[in-house]
Amino acid sequence: MKMNHNFSNIAQSYLFSTVAKKVADYTAAHPDKKVIRLGIGDVTLPLPQVAIDAMHAAVDEQSKQETFHGYGPEQGYDFLKESIQAYYAMRDTKLELDEIFVSDGAKSDVGNILDLFDKDNTVLVPDPVYPVYVDTNVMGGRKIAYMNANESNGFLPLPDPSVKADIIYLCSPNNPTGAAYDRASLKAWVDYALANDAIILYDAAYECFVSEDVPRSIYEIEGAKDCAIEFCSFSKTAGFTGTRCGYTIVPVQLEREGMNLNKMWLRRQTTKFNGVAYIVQRGAAAIFSEEGVKQVQEHLDYYRENARILAEAMDELGIWYTGGKNSPYIWLKCPNGMESWEFFDYLLENANVVGTPGAGFGENGKNFFRLTAFGDRENTIEAVARIKKLLS
């Protein structure tokens, strides 16, 4: 019996557990202080009412023999895939239904997609980064190359022609930096991937926050269907973090070494997955209705206004940051040359505000700090007032 020893090479992350412990220790020592948490990446608003209504109706269907749904198609019901297809069509991106795979969330698919690739590939990952991209590849024994995201490139690195990568992770708008690639930059990545026979794994989980003229989908770039797989999720769009639904686009024309990636993914999913709950798919489909789109926009506007309030404070304080416009994240440079854990303690102790130290996302994050717009309005306004008082 031989175990997968690559598991021994996965770095243990103590980021969120250390944050939690520091906050718990502080509140225990200062029970009178009101601590405001702007560190989490989870949503706080309840599900849109259209999704609630649709799920009640679907639960009722599951209670009667005539309307009961057993095993569904592993790749998702057409009613949901057609809604996703129409959503892309609004931005002139034509998808075939067979290119859309409904899943239980982007995190699962971003990891599971690696089943399609040999171990012997070089994976290019930005630093700082969502740790799942790194850990899933280390688990599979793949070699990882890092690209520097930093203040000088606005945390939006461009391809380095001297580096030969096979698999490239791009997340835009980015977690944790909130930075979003413009069209020309994404075009540079698509051109690089095509020239190098590489595959781009494009994480679009935050596309719903785009408000400026930047792409929401890699397929808005010519040539992307020949080099990119896109992952998206209803987690941030419609508050589905605990309801679990997302989708992955694998173009039917995407081929490497004579193998068709769409057919491979279909085979992977039909073999190792049994589809998303019917009830959940009905909830997800509802958010594409006319009323659903309206309700989702209200939610997004709420978080966007929080982001604007945070960004405005950074502007007033003269603090350099990315994000806040096309993203629920503000990625700020720690003031006075502080390191991120130092700033974390300083902010917790002096303003009773919790954020996330950038060092937790990679070496290049060690002087940066993430604040999120997912808190409630009143707390966000109070946190901003405290931060401004402390830092001005």
Q: In angstroms, how far is CA 171 from the centroid of its own chain?
A: 7
Among 26, 37, 85, 115, interactor with a copy of itself by CB under 8 A: 115
Interaction residues for a copy of itself, span 217-236 (CB under 8 A): none
Is residue 370 marked as binding?
yes
Phi, psi (rounded to 5 degrees) for 354? -105, 130
Cα separation, 233 vs 136, in Å, equals 19
Is residue 106 marked as binding?
yes
256 lines the binding site for a copy of itself (CB under 8 A): yes
Interaction mask 161-180, a copy of itself, x per CB under 8 A: -----xx-------------
Beta pairing, strands 167-171 & 122-127: parallel
Is residue 274 marked as binding?
yes
Interaction residues for a copy of itself, span 4-43 (CB under 8 A): 4-5, 7-8, 10, 42-43
Q: State which residue, 239 or 292, has the beta carbon closest to a copy of itself.
A: 239
Interaction residues for a copy of itself, span 139-158 (CB under 8 A): 139
What stretch of H or E contains 19?
Answer: helix 15-29
273 lines the binding site for a copy of itself (CB under 8 A): yes
69 lines the binding site for a copy of itself (CB under 8 A): yes
Cα separation, 259 vs 256, in Å, equals 5
Cα separation, 153 vs 165, in Å, equals 20
70 lines the binding site for a copy of itself (CB under 8 A): yes
Q: Nearest CA to 348 among 14, 28, 22? A: 22
Interaction mask 293-332, a copy of itself, x per CB under 8 A: ----------------------------------------
Answer for the pair 132, 108: CB distance below 8 angstroms, yes or no: no
Answer for the pair 211, 373: CB distance below 8 angstroms, yes or no: no
Is residue 172 marked as binding?
no
* 29-47 burial: b if 16+ Cβ within 10 Å, else e: eeeeeebbbbbebebeeeb
Interaction residues for a copy of itself, span 186-205 (CB under 8 A): 197-199
Is residue 282 marked as binding?
no
Which residues are known binding-site members for pyridoxal 5'-phosphate? 71, 106-107, 130, 175, 206, 233-235, 244, 274
